[in-house]
Amino acid sequence: MALHYLGTVDEFTDGEPRIVDVKGRSVGIYKISGKLHAILNYCPHQGASLCKGPVTSWVTSPLPGQFIYEQEGEIVRCPWHHWEFDIKTGVLIVDNKVRTKTYDVVVETFDLSVDQGNVYIEM
């Protein structure tokens, strides 16, 4: 495995995914609560560009008419058939046996007190 440069930390914004090409693979980079996550831009259901789907929450309903929004900004919904995946783990929300590939993101920091540093993906 090798590290591949993606940019600097300040180039990534919470809630604004970026799709990059690394070694011929399309990968979505997401910044969630200041931490970077990477998933393959491929829905295992039928091959859609998963990372082009909306980023949303997981909605549960303990009682009729009552809704709870969990994991806000941590779920990506496939634009074709609305399958929902946890960005942090790559797992399909309703079936943990189905997942999309995730990659480790490494941040090489220059100054721990500031949002700076180089961002790499491990592949």
pLDDT tens, position by position, 80-114: 999 999 999 999 999 999 999 999 999 988 766 55
Indicate if the alpha-carbon torsion angle 62, 100, 44, 7 is positive or negative: positive
> Model pTM?
0.89
CATH number, domain containing residue 56: 2.102.10.10
pLDDT attached to residue 32: 95
Three-state DSSP class for residue 91 = strand
Could you give the C-alpha distances from 17 to 28, 53, 64, 65, 68, in angstroms and in order?
A: 6, 10, 33, 32, 24
Domain count of the chain?
Answer: 1
Residue 62 CB contacts under 8 Å (≥ 6 apart), including other chains? 68
Residue 36 structural domain? 3-122
Tokens at 89, concatenated: 């783990």
**Ordered mean pLDDT values, 10 residues apiece, the chain (123 residues):** 93 92 97 95 97 93 92 95 97 96 92 75 95
